[in-house]
Structure 1
Amino acid sequence: MNFWDQNFSVDGFKYGTEPNAFLVQQAHRLPAGADVLVPGDGEGRNGVWLAQQGHHVTAMDGSSVGLEKARALAQERGVTIDTVLGDLADWAPIPGAFDAVVLTYVHLPPAIRQGAHRRLARGLRPGGWLVLECFHPLQLANSSGGPKDAAMLYSASLLREDFAGWLDEVEAWEGAVELAEGGGHQGQAHVTRWVGRRGAVGGTM
């Protein structure tokens, strides 16, 4: 059993069942009935919420336990989502298949991070949106969640480099927030919030 399967095998939902606050704030950007990819969706709180808004959701994760709980949550909420089991180290969406990609606290090691980010950007249609929230390196001073390895925490400047040539930056912010996302994210946190949009002509891999 992998790390995330163990994490999600507990009773209840580690990060709760309510959507990420930044995603809710940014959801107005999405067209009606959008095709949305949610990599690292875990137990499905964000993907299921997006499906409740009328979007067509593909929830991708490396944990079969998390995806099983995501499907159960969707059924409980009266919606359907597509689920894909995969590893962002090598998984890639079909190019141009999605109107939006939502990345919420998906922290990847440096060896695979930039390649994974660019493959996800390639999955966007022209005009498609990427909405991302993650822990900033200053999060190491807090106990509200996230990796304890600075190399897996992202600043806005790091994200700009990762998506350069692929996405135009629309919004970037770094700062302190108060998290209340289940037992996994509770309390004062330092986060990076980033929104990018794919232009009419994207980059090349």
Structure 2
Amino acid sequence: MTMWNERFATPDYVFGTAPSRFLVEQEDHLPSGASALAIADGEGRNSVFLAERGLHVTAMEAAPNAIAKARKLAAARGVTVDFQEADIFDWDWAPGRFDRVVGVFFQFMGPEARAEVFEGMKRTTAPGGLVLIHGYTPEQIAHGTGGPKDPENLYTEDLLREAFAGWEILRLAAYEAVLDEGSGHAGRSALIDLIARKPG
């Protein structure tokens, strides 16, 4: 957490203030009035976007410097987000609490920890609710335009399909695109999306 808090100790928004293009493109899956959890939310660009869409948003983030900027962004956009300073590995994944669970670029953990987080995300999703994940594939390492350097932290379609076995897969796609998300994600990138519905 210390490393991330130091990284966010700048007045600039490291990943920009615009939401992930992935979320913007999935607006049809983000209905007003739904409850949403944004995990490892960083500086608030995605949780604030969800709140602007009319969702009731809880944002979990461990770095105080990031949360301070997220609060400023929410205030500037005129929306309310329940920002929670919390370590993702200590989070209370209360069963069935959220209609939408959103994870964008949270690939700072290895396979064992990731499996635990995925299980938590699944547990806290309400029956019939969605998990939305956006991240990098191993091909991203060659691009060097953001993300972790350890290939074990990255996602493949097979990995995500297995992790959400038994769920209805609405979208699972690996692709390349050019990102312009602050200094943190800039340039051609190897990306992957998952949208999965929990059995009702």
TM-score with structure 1 length normalisation?
A: 0.93
Correspondence for 1:176: 176
Bigger Cα displacement from structure 2, 155-164 vs 177-186: 155-164
Offset of residue 84 of structure 1: 1.3
Number of corresponding residues: 199
2:31, 2:54 within 8 Å by CA — same for their partners in 1? no
Equivalences for 1:64-79 in 2 at 5 Å?
Answer: 64-79=64-79
Unaligned segments of structure 2, at least 5 residues: none
Correspondence for 2:160: 159
Q: Which secondary structure state, in structure 1, belongs to the residue aligned with residue 18 of structure 2?
A: coil
Letter in 1 for 2:106: V
Quote the Cα distance in structure 2 between the aligned partners of 1:50 and 1:124.
16
Q: Which secondary structure state, in structure 1, belongs to the residue aligned with residue 26 of structure 2?
A: helix
Quote the Cα distance in structure 2 between the aligned partners of 1:59 and 1:115.
19
2:31, 2:53 within 8 Å by CA — same for their partners in 1? no
Offset of residue 168 of structure 1: 2.2
Equivalences for 1:28-47 in 2 at 5 Å?
Answer: 28-47=28-47
Bigger Cα displacement from structure 2, 146-155 vs 106-115: 106-115
Offset of residue 127 of structure 1: 1.1
Correspondence for 1:142: 143
Unaligned segments of structure 1, at least 5 residues: 201-205
Distance 1:157 1:92, change over 3 A: farther
1:92, 1:120 within 8 Å by CA — same for their partners in 2? no
TM-score with structure 2 length normalisation?
A: 0.95
Quote the Cα distance in structure 1 between the aligned partners of 2:49 and 2:104.
13
Tell me the percent identity. Answer: 40
Q: Deviations over 1:53-81 (max 9, x none)?
A: 11111010111111111111101111110
Correspondence for 1:62: 62
Bigger Cα displacement from structure 2, 87-96 vs 98-107: 87-96
**Structure 1 position 88 matched with structure 2 position 64:** no
1:174, 1:190 within 8 Å by CA — same for their partners in 2? yes
Correspondence for 1:115: 116
Distance 1:90 1:162, change over 3 A: farther
- Root-mean-square deviation (Å): 1.2
Offset of residue 31 of structure 1: 2.7
Q: Deviations over 1:87-113 (max 9, x none)?
A: 222323221111101110011221210
Q: Which secondary structure state, in structure 2, belongs to the residue aligned with residue 38 of structure 1?
A: strand
